[in-house]
Amino acid sequence: MLLSVSDLESGYGRARVLFGVSLEVESGQLVCVMGRNGVGKTTLLNTVMGVLPATSGTVAFDGRDVTRLKPHERVRLGMGYVPQGHQCFPQLSVLGNLLVTVEAAKQPKSAIDEALDLFPALKPMLKRSAGHLSGGQQQQLAMARALVTRPRMLILDEPTEGIQPSIILEIEAAIERLHASGLAVLLVEQYLDIALRLADRFLILDAGHVVRTGDAGELQREDVRRLLAV
Ligand SMILES: Nc1ncnc2c1ncn2[C@@H]1O[C@H](COP(=O)(O)OP(=O)(O)OP(=O)(O)O)[C@@H](O)[C@H]1O
Ligand SMILES: [Mg+2]
C-alpha cells in the first residue's frame, strides 16, 4: 500500500473535525474523497500532509510512518500536494515559481520541462507574474509546481473549484494522463461526473467520519448520491 491512513483524528484547538478516518491508496490508484462543504476534506488532506498535526492515528507512506514528519519532509518522500485555492507566489513569474520549487526539492531543472509538457497553456506565460494569471492557469501552475518535486503520489484539493469549464477539461485531462502514467492520486473533487470518470475508488466523508467507500461505478447509485446531495 502506498498510502495508509489509520484512525486519523485532528481539528482546530478544541474543535475536533476528523473522527478516526482510515483510507488506503495503492500505488498507481486514484482515490477520490467526496462529501459536502465543511465535512473535513481539506482538514483530512492537511493532516495527511502534516500541515495540521494529527491528534491521534497514523499516516504511513510507502511503508514508513510519516505521522510526525514535517510537510517538506513528506514532499521529499514523494508526496506532492496542491492545496485548495492553489497557492502560488504571486510576485514571482511562472518560471520563477517553478524554479524555486525545483530547487527546494533538489530536483533537476528538466523536471520543469516535464511538468510543462502536461500544461502547454503555461508555456507562453513563463515570464508573466503568477498573480496575473487566471484562476485556472494558477491551478495549472500549482499542479506543475507539485509535479516538479517528482512525487509518487499527488494530493489535490478541489483542483476544479471556481474554474471556467474549458480549463476544467484541461485539468481533468492532465489528472487523467498522470494517473495513466502510473502516478497515485488522492483527489478531493465535488463534481460527481469528474469523479466518475477519473476515480478507481472513492470515499465519502460526513461530519469527519467515512460514511461510504466503494469502486467509482457505485457513485451512480441512488443511495450513494444521496450522501452527496446538498
Ligand atoms: N483554520 C480553521 N480554524 C477553525 N476551524 C476550521 C478551520 N478550517 C476549517 N475549519 C472547520 O473545520 C470543518 C471542516 O472544514 P474543511 O475545510 O476541512 O471542510 P471541507 O470539507 O474541505 O469543506 P469545503 O468543501 O468547503 O472545502 C468546518 O466546520 C470548518 O468550519
Ligand atoms: Mg475544502
Output the pLDDT for position 221: 94
Query: What is the number of structural domains in the chain?
Result: 1
pLDDT higher than threshold 90 for residue 43 = yes
Check if the beta carbon of residue 8 is closer than 8 Å to that of residue 18: yes
Output the pLDDT for position 94: 97
Cβ 136 under 6 angstroms from ligand 1? no
Which residue's CA is the closest to the ligand 1 atom numbered 2? 12
pLDDT tens digit sequence for 190-228:
999 999 999 999 999 999 999 999 999 999 999 999 999
Q: Please state, in angstroms and rounded to a whole number, the distance separating the CA atoms of residues 104 and 12.
A: 29
Output the pLDDT for position 230: 76
Output the pLDDT for position 137: 94
Cβ 42 under 6 angstroms from ligand 1? yes
pLDDT tens digit sequence for 166-188:
899 999 999 999 999 999 999 99
Query: Cα of 185 to ligand 2 centre, how many Å?
Result: 17
If you average pLDDT over residues 143-165, what whole number do you get?
95
Copy the grid coordinates of residue 40: 473535513
Q: Which ligand is nearest to the CA of 33?
A: 1
Q: Which ligand is nearest to the CA of 37?
A: 1
Output the pLDDT for position 2: 98
Atom of ligand 1 nearest to the CA of 158: 27
DSSP states of 95-130: HHHHHHHHHHTT--THHHHHHHHH-GGGGGGTTSBG
Q: Which residues of 59-69 are buried (b: 16+ CB within 10 A; e: fewer)?
A: bbbeeeebbeb
Q: What is the CATH number of the domain that holds 116?
A: 3.40.50.300
Locate all alpha helices (DSSP H) within 8-119, ordered by sequence: 41-49, 71-76, 94-104, 110-118
Which of 18, 37, 43 maximizes ligand 1 atoms within 8 Å of its Cβ, making it the mutation to test the pocket?
43
Cβ 181 under 6 angstroms from ligand 1? no
pLDDT tens digit sequence for 45-95:
999 999 999 999 999 999 999 999 999 999 999 999 999 987 899 999 999
Query: Cα of 201 to ligand 1 centre, how many Å?
Result: 23
If you average pLDDT over residues 6-16, what whole number do you get?
97
Check if the beta carbon of residue 19 is closer than 8 Å to that of residue 208: yes
Mean pLDDT (the chain) is 96
If you average pLDDT over residues 24-48, what whole number do you get?
97
Q: Where does residue 227 rank: exposed (0-12), middle (13-18), buried (19+ CB within 10 A)? A: middle
Cβ 182 under 6 angstroms from ligand 1? no
Range of the domain at 98: 3-226
If you average pLDDT over residues 111-136, what whole number do you get?
95
Q: Which residues contact 50 (CB under 8 A, 6 or more apart)?
A: 59, 66, 67, 69, 70, 71, 73, 74
Pairing of strands 153-157, 79-82: parallel
